[in-house]
């Protein structure tokens, strides 16, 4: 089975430093070209410098993979209204650093990252958490309960719709049969 490649998570940037995806791709590819050029230019260097570069590259790859997994796990936890309620009650949403972190995590809504998210409600809640009104409201247990019920109803809706449609059809048939019987 082919292993899915994990895209590199974007680095948190200030608004003035943000680049669009094309600029990032160009920057990454030029950096990769610079590395390969320096490898060719320094072919006479000893093996220690190459092994140091490889170990640094391996450590960076491990760091990026762990970062990806931790951020994915946190984003998916946001699908649980009770978890969001608890972290709201603990005051995390009152900290500007945490609110900025939530803004940063919006990159998970892009298709190349969203494909890894198992619980799509997490992305919807991530959107809602961008507003102060929702962050204040989710502190209330009643709001978490309401959100949990809405979420459960959403999951149940296809079954309810099928059962409701068949029940309604059976009810209509029964009613038609009773009218036909009373007419005769």
pLDDT tens figures, 81-136 = 999 999 999 999 999 999 999 999 999 999 999 999 999 999 999 999 999 999 99
d(CA 118, CA 121): 9
Q: Which of 142 and 8 is assigned the larger pLDDT?
A: 142
Find, among 156, 177, 75, the residue nearest to 122 by Cα. Answer: 75
Query: Is the distance from CB of 138 to CB of 88 less than 8 angstroms?
Result: yes
Tokens standing for 7?
Answer: 């895209």
Query: Is the distance from CB of 98 to CB of 131 less than 8 angstroms?
Result: no
pTM above 0.85, yes or no: no
Q: Which of 169 and 159 is assigned the larger pLDDT?
A: 159
Domain housing 143: 46-183
104 within domain boundaries: yes
CATH number of 134's domain: 1.10.10.1340
2 within domain boundaries: no
94 within domain boundaries: yes
21 within domain boundaries: no
Domain count, the chain: 1
Q: What is the pLDDT of residue 56?
A: 78
Average pLDDT over residues 35-56: 52
29 within domain boundaries: no
Average pLDDT over residues 146-154: 89
Mean pLDDT of the chain: 73
d(CA 81, CA 142): 11
28 within domain boundaries: no
Q: Which of 71 and 58 is assigned the larger pLDDT?
A: 71
Find, among 68, 2, 66, 8, the residue nearest to 32 by Cα. Answer: 8
84 within domain boundaries: yes
13 within domain boundaries: no
Q: What is the pLDDT of residue 108?
A: 96
Average pLDDT over residues 142-164: 78
Q: What is the pLDDT of residue 130?
A: 96
Phi-psi region of 21 (alpha: psi -120 to 50; beta: other; left: phi over 0): alpha
* Sign of the Cα pseudo-torsion (56, 62, 67, 68, in order): positive
């Amino acid at each position: 089975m082919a292993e899915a490649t994990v895209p590199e998570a974007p680095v948190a940037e200030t608004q003035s430093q943000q680049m669009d995806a094309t600029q990032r791709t160009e920057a990454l590819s030029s950096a990769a070209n610079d590395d390969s050029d320096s490898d060719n230019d320094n072919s006479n260097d000893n093996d220690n410098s190459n092994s140091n570069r490889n170990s640094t590259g391996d450590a960076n790859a491990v760091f990026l993979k762990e970062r990806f997994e931790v951020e994915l796990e946190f984003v998916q936890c946001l699908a649980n209204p009770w978890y969001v309620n608890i972290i709201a009650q603990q005051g995390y949403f009152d900290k500007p650093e945490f609110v900025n972190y939530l803004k940063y995590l919006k990159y998970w809504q892009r298709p190349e990252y969203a494909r890894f998210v198992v619980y799509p409600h997490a992305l919807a809640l991530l959107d809602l958490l961008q507003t102060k009104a929702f962050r204040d409201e989710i502190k209330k247990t009643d709001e978490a309960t309401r959100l949990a019920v809405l979420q459960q109803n959403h999951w149940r809706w296809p079954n309810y719709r099928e059962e409701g449609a068949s029940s309604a059809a059976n009810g209509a048939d029964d009613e038609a049969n009773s009218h036909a019987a009373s007419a005769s």
